[in-house]
Structure 1
Amino acid sequence: MAHVSLSKGGSGAFTPLTMILVLVIGVAALAGLGILSAYAPELKSGDDGGTHALSRSSVGYAALPRLLRATGTPVVLNRGSLGNGSSDSFLILTPSVGTPPVLIEDMRHEGSVMVVLPKWNYTPLPDHRGWVSTVGVVSADQALSVLPQEMRYGTTLSDLPGRQPVSLRRAADALLTDQAVVIDTHRRIVGSQWMPVIVDADGGTVLATHRETGLYVLADADVLNTQGLKSLAGARTALALLDALRPHGTPVVFDLTLHGFQRTRNLGRLLLEPPFVGMTVVLVALILFAGWQATVRYGPARQNGRVVALGKRALADNTAALVRMAGREHHMGPPYALLVRAAVARAIGAPRDLAGDDLDAFLDRVGVIAGATRPYTALAESARAARTPGDLIRVARDLHRWTQEMTRARQ
């Protein structure tokens, strides 16, 4: 029969170093997951094919911010509420079909605002993330549904089907550029509430401003989206259109909150940003120190005793503590000497009628016979002269030795 021997030096499945590495990696992974979860909305690439400034699809507007930055125009991709210093900026809203009009009504911006009406129906391409395929233009009612109700009365959109070059110019003014833009299904806005700002060669209004609110509305999204900027003429036309609406040097702000890319406040962000990041650092340090303490502690944890102890020892300890607090320790010497004298007198059978000096003299005589080192009267005088805890300890030691000598306890 074969015998299998096991080595005495065998170890467990994991070494301490392996366990430490696993623990460190786990903690780092958990911390990274928490940080990524806190900043998840801002870490989204946004390239989902939608009609916003992060989308690089044909109906998106990602090309326009890049073009503006390349020409030296300051650009802001806004994910939150606009601050008080945004009054000198030009805000562009690119809502999609189904965006509630109330979101545009609630947009607080003291500067100029332009709404680009949605134009195309589209479906995402499954083989290419961020790509879309257009499936016809949206109806006029769907495109205008993103505007507030009062702005839609008497307003409609007219379409020129087919691909054709479109030359844009300011109302009653010169052309924006010397090149025409090829647009598929050119769209214009019609309504008595709107004043023309940018028109085509036929006088149709492409960009209008509301007579009461001053809101700009661009009827044809292909003037600014990626599909329109694919040619040099389209890029020049887009830049000229924006230059006609905003003062020189004014920042252009693209809103992203209408598409769900807003910066939200949550507990994770509060703990990782000033002023609460200091508290987070302190908490992490305390956790690390607590873990280190639990790792290097020697022996079992000490159990806590009762707050109020029981028994004679507890009573004696409490009495001693009270005496110490009252500052009366040095007065305990003479009474202790008398207690020791009474105990020794009973132990050696001293006459019961003796007391005071007579008993002291009797004990001194017995001490001489017993061979005591010091007489009791000398010990009692030392007890009366004690003033410090050290003096009391010496008196107690001498009285204990005298007790042993008188009672022969050491034998």
Structure 2
Amino acid sequence: MSDIGNGAGPAAATLFRARTVGLMLAIGIAGFIGMLVLGAYAPDLRSGRNGGAHALSNAVTGYAALVKLAEATGRHPRITRSKDAFETEDLLVVTPESAATDISLALKGRSTRPTLFILPKWRTVPDEKHSGWARYQGLLPLYDPIGVLAPGIRFTMRQYRSGGGPLTSHGAPGRFFAPRPIQVITGIDPHDDQQYDEWSDLHPILTDGRGGMVLAQIGEGPLYVLADPDLLNNRGMKEAGQARAALELLDWLNSTDADGIAFDVSMNGFGHSRSPLKLLFEPPFLAMTLAIAATLLLAGVHAFGRFGPPRARTRAVAFGKTALVDNSALLIRKAGREARLGGRYAAAIRDRAARAFGAPARLRDAALDDYLDSMKGAHRFTDLAQAAEAATDRRDLLEAAQALHDWQKDRHR
């Protein structure tokens, strides 16, 4: 059978021009590469506008306003998506959204470096009318903010309706006013058997005047905890005085050798994901990727640089008697039965010679062979026919057939 249509003509060979094919290939390759890159880095490129309480969020409970304000005032803030970035002398702001968040690496690994933990306060739901916004549903149960640093540090806390009066500062700059409602730390849970000894003391920095700590230092190191996030989140940044005080507080908490402020979002689900696909686009494997891309490009250029016009493919089964004979011969050769055709070829020569030499029609078989042997020549027909029938391989058969052909040709002279 054939895979080429009967009506294929010159028009079919030029259905697509080389320029069209090249453009289609370029678009396809660019799209494929773009899909690979986006597939590798999509988790790292998420905007973070999910209504959460983190540095990428523009919701009321987020901290995007503080990040933008710090950037506008030259404080060099940066968003960290990997826990490897914790190895810095800059102030690290950690904003866990629930007690289920694992903050052990930041808690233990940065005991001598300035770190601010902001406890969660609000229970929210996404705003259906505005993408990335959130609506209050109420305050979180106290066990949620209490459990953020537990069991190593377990506070006792309180939530109540404040009058919005100024907070009392114990050495911190700026002037803050109490959020409404307010969430404060009242001390260390005395029933916590797993409390770390080095962090068993709390030093108040901002208090509400009623014995509650809004901002406290844990132990003697630069570890701080902010009980009420409304002092620094987007809700608190709507007032100029509060925003100014927030920047002064961050400067005061930061170390003397700091280059900026780091806002962690890896604990909020926006960390760099580990993917084998990303290795293709990052050193040291980037060099190998570029080498493979260059090789494929050169192979493509070579494929387009053919010599001469393309030749149309021939049919798998050609038309005509010659094609039929050729196909039949191919089948016989594939079957390995060529050597058995010697006797049949000799019989065909016998019939052709009888007609060509005018042998009497009554002669058959041996009588016809005697008649052909009686004709003058260097060889007898029966000897040549026996040699053809006795052939055992292709070479012997070819020699016997050539001898019969020459015998017939000599008789015609």
**Number of equivalences:** 288
- Counterparts of 1:160 and 1:240, CA distance in 2: 27
Counterpart in the other structure of 1:184: 180
Counterpart among 233, 238, 243 of residue 251 in structure 2: 243
Amino acid in the other structure paired with 1:190: T
Counterpart among 257, 261, 267 of residue 252 in structure 1: 261
Counterpart among 232, 235, 257 of residue 240 in structure 2: 232
Counterpart in the other structure of 1:168: 167
Q: How does 1:323-338 map to 2 (within 5 A)?
A: none
- Counterparts of 1:277 and 1:233, CA distance in 2: 49
Could you say what the CA RMSD is over the residues aligned between the two structures, in angstroms? Answer: 2.8
Distance 1:294-1:150 versus aligned 2 partners, 3 A rule: same
Does the CA contact (< 8 Å) of 2:178 and 2:208 recur in 1?
A: no
User: Displacement of 1:39 after TM fit?
Assistant: 1.6
Distance 1:249-1:232 versus aligned 2 partners, 3 A rule: farther
Does the CA contact (< 8 Å) of 1:181 and 1:233 recur in 2?
A: no
Counterpart among 30, 33, 36 of residue 34 in structure 1: 36
Amino acid in the other structure paired with 1:168: L
- Counterparts of 1:97 and 1:235, CA distance in 2: 25
Counterpart among 16, 21, 24 of residue 22 in structure 1: 24
Give the unaligned 5+ runs of structure 1: 1-5, 301-411
- Counterparts of 1:45 and 1:67, CA distance in 2: 18
Q: How does 1:259-274 map to 2 (within 5 A)?
A: 259-274=268-283
- Counterparts of 1:117 and 1:17, CA distance in 2: 61
Give the unaligned 5+ runs of structure 2: 1-6, 189-199, 312-413
Does the CA contact (< 8 Å) of 1:99 and 1:258 recur in 2?
A: no
Distance 1:77-1:85 versus aligned 2 partners, 3 A rule: same
User: Displacement of 1:246 after TM fit?
Assistant: 2.2
Counterpart in the other structure of 1:147: 149
- Counterparts of 1:107 and 1:25, CA distance in 2: 51
- Counterparts of 1:177 and 1:212, CA distance in 2: 22
Does the CA contact (< 8 Å) of 1:169 and 1:201 recur in 2?
A: yes
TM-score normalised by the chain length of structure 1: 0.63
Distance 1:122-1:140 versus aligned 2 partners, 3 A rule: same
Distance 1:165-1:237 versus aligned 2 partners, 3 A rule: farther
Distance 1:119-1:105 versus aligned 2 partners, 3 A rule: same
- Counterparts of 2:300 and 2:255, CA distance in 1: 60
Query: Is 1:72 paired with 2:74?
Result: yes
Query: Is 1:94 paired with 2:91?
Result: no
Structure 1 stretch displaced more, 260-269 or 23-32: 260-269
TM-score normalised by the chain length of structure 2: 0.63
User: Displacement of 1:29 after TM fit?
Assistant: 0.4
Q: How does 1:83-122 map to 2 (within 5 A)?
A: 83=85, 86=88, 88-101=89-102, 103-104=104-105, 108-109=109-110, 110-122=112-124
User: Displacement of 1:297 after TM fit?
Assistant: 4.3
- Counterparts of 1:56 and 1:83, CA distance in 2: 23
- Counterparts of 1:102 and 1:71, CA distance in 2: 29
Amino acid in the other structure paired with 1:97: S
User: Displacement of 1:79 after TM fit?
Assistant: 1.0
- Counterparts of 1:216 and 1:91, CA distance in 2: 10
- Counterparts of 1:214 and 1:240, CA distance in 2: 16
Distance 1:137-1:94 versus aligned 2 partners, 3 A rule: same
Does the CA contact (< 8 Å) of 1:228 and 1:235 recur in 2?
A: yes
Counterpart in the other structure of 1:321: none
Counterpart among 195, 218, 221 of residue 226 in structure 2: 218
Residue by residue over 1:242-292, the C-alpha shift from the partner in whole angstroms, topping out at 9 and shown as x without a partner, is 233224573211111101211234333222222222221111111122233
Greater RCO, CA 8 A, separation 6+:
2
Does the CA contact (< 8 Å) of 1:77 and 1:254 recur in 2?
A: yes
